[in-house]
Amino acid sequence: MTFAQKERERLAELFLEVGPDAPTLNEGWVTRDLAVHLLIRESKPAAAPGIFVDALSGVTEKETEKQMARPYEDVVREWAAGPPVWLKPLNTAMNTSEHFIHHEDVRRGGGVVAPREFSRAVNEELFALAKRFGRMTLRKAPVPVILTPPDMPPATLGDKAGVAERGDNVLRVAGEPGELLLWVSGRDAVEVEKSGAVDACKDFTVKM
């Protein structure tokens, strides 16, 4: 079973455990909103494009209303059953970050930050995703950002000025790979340590 599949199982169990009205890290969303989002994104191809394209948002809104009216448990179980057959070959590529991040959105929604421990292989996967996301979300950072996980080579992102890794005018963000992925995804409820040009980035907001 892949990490994406395991995270689907864990998140589905957590959805059912906490119920439809539990808080999440997604602003304005409770668990019902998040479960509906996940189902539409993956299993409702006619409505999913509106999640990403404003011009098609009306279709997504109608499908969202329809799914929100269903019993919450049914929505969760349909999503937990997995993607449509035609999407299964893309499950890992599509869902590793999606399932991990949203699992943590629910785990930490109540305000408790409790990072989990993962194998070396999973940490490498999460750090690769952190670097990929960071290239997008940190591209406008005022200074280069160096992501520094333990026991792995650091990654310098947003390095427009070509500042060397040992330069002073950089923001260093240290933490476990999963915490770094959450941070570059715009989450604040994370365990990371910032050093270096912290003041230079005080007005910079990481956004997906």
Sorted by where each starts, the structural domains of the chain and their CATH numbers stand as: 3-107 (no CATH), 126-201 (3.30.1050)
Residue 207 confidence (pLDDT): 83
Question: Helical H runs in the chain?
Answer: 3-18, 31-43, 57-68, 72-80, 91-107, 120-137, 177-184
Give the least confident one: 34-43, 145-154, 155-164. Answer: 155-164
The partner residues of 173 in beta bridges, in order of sequence, read 147, 194
Query: If pLDDT is split at 50, 70 and 90, which confidence band does 83 have?
Result: confident
pTM of the prediction?
0.90
| C-alpha span between 9 and 185 (Å, rounded) | 22
| C-alpha span between 139 and 62 (Å, rounded) | 34
Q: Is the pLDDT of residue 172 over 70?
A: yes
As given in the structure block, the two tokens for residue 108 are 């930490």
49-58 average pLDDT score: 56
Determine what percent of the chain is predicted with pLDDT higher than 90. 69
Render pLDDT for 108-147 as a digit per residue (tens, 0 to 9).
Answer: 999 999 999 999 999 999 999 999 999 999 999 999 999 9
Mention every residue, 6+ apart, whose C-beta is less than 8 A from residue 190.
113, 115, 175, 179, 182, 183
Residue 193 confidence (pLDDT): 97
Instruction: Please report, as a single letter, which amino acid is at residue 96.
Output: T
Residue 134 confidence (pLDDT): 96
